[in-house]
Amino acid sequence: MKQIKAHIAVSLDGFIATSDNELEWLPNEIKSILNEQYAIADSLLMGANTYHYIFDHWGGWPYTNKQTFVVSHHNTNITPNCRVKFLVNKQLEEIYKLRHKTNLLVVGGGNLITTLIKAKLINYITIYTVPKLLGKGIKLFHDIPNCDLKLITSNILNSNIICSTYQTYD
């Protein structure tokens, strides 16, 4: 079986974006690391909000060479010729099937990560804790169940960002 991993940046007070969904507060080092992870991933998995944010803010779809799966309640695919497939029916079943075929990297999305944790589908979460307080914004986790994680690695990056990788389920 393949794996599902997530790499996500979070402020010290637990936010992944500002209240208006902006990511400008992220240091360039983190943006570079995340882009490297996306480049080496087999396939990408994201929610509809992340999909539309990327398209709207990056001037089109940057991952044309990468199979991308978007979890959504509605098919709002504006890049059908860019290897993007929307999962709109029985999403968790579809993700389970995909995990048997390809390694998946979750792009953004606290809600999606929370859903994958609840469904015991995600294997590893790498969190980049940025020493910045946003005060308010979009939280990383929402209504998360009690869950023991195993710390696999932790280190301090050049700009005092803590990078910690946790194993969720075998």
* pLDDT-based confidence at residue 130 (cuts at 50, 70, 90): very high
Entry pTM: 0.92
Output the furthest CA–CA distance in the chain (Å, rounded). Answer: 43
pLDDT tens-place string over residues 61-103: 888 889 999 999 999 989 888 999 999 999 999 999 999 999 9
Q: What pLDDT is recorded for position 56?
A: 87
Beta partners for residue 71, in sequence order? 47, 87
- The pLDDT mean for the chain works out to 92
pLDDT on residue 142: 84
What CATH number corresponds to the domain at position 90?
A: 3.40.430.10
Q: Which domain holds residue 33?
A: 4-10+18-167
Q: Is the dihedral of CA 125, 24, 60, 91 positive or negative?
A: positive
pLDDT at 170: 61
Q: How far, CA to CA in Å, does 90 sit from each of 49, 71, 86, 130, 151? A: 19, 10, 11, 35, 31
Lowest mean pLDDT among 38-42, 54-58, 115-119: 54-58
> What is the total count of domains within the chain?
1
| pLDDT band for position 169 (cuts 50, 70, 90) | confident
> Can you give the pLDDT at residue 25?
94
In angstroms, what CA-CA distances link 117 with 51, 57, 141, 143, 147? 20, 28, 10, 11, 8
pLDDT digits (tens, 9 = 90+) for 1-34: 899 999 999 999 999 999 998 889 999 999 999 9
Query: In which residue are the tokens 């199979």 written?
Result: 67
Across the range 55-59, mean pLDDT stands at: 83
